[in-house]
Amino acid sequence: MATVANAIASGEIKMGIAGGVETMTNGDMRDMQNTKGMAKSVFENDNAAACLISMGITSENVAKKYGVDRAM
């Protein structure tokens, strides 16, 4: 949806169709060890299974890796 919105804003296109889904309500985002309700296919793919870190923790890890503090 962001890509379509950006293309409209930039004048690249006059209109577009976009869609998406929300799945955050399917689980407790504070407890990424709770995988109840997740598709079993997630765990069949090593890359998908390895990326079950919440976005909050991910942002902290990226900030630390690249030396970006909260003030920045």
What residue segments make up the domains of the chain, in order of their start? Answer: 2-66
Residue scoring higher pLDDT (6 or 59): 6
Percent of the chain with pLDDT over 90: 32
Contact residues for 63 (Cβ-Cβ < 8 A; gap 6+): 69, 70
- Please give the Cα distance from 22 to 39 (Å, whole number): 15
- Please give the Cα distance from 35 to 48 (Å, whole number): 13
Contact residues for 37 (Cβ-Cβ < 8 A; gap 6+): 26, 27
37, 27 in Cβ contact below 8 A? yes
Mean pLDDT computed over 32-38: 67
- The confidence band for 22, taking pLDDT boundaries of 50, 70 and 90, is low
pTM: 0.38
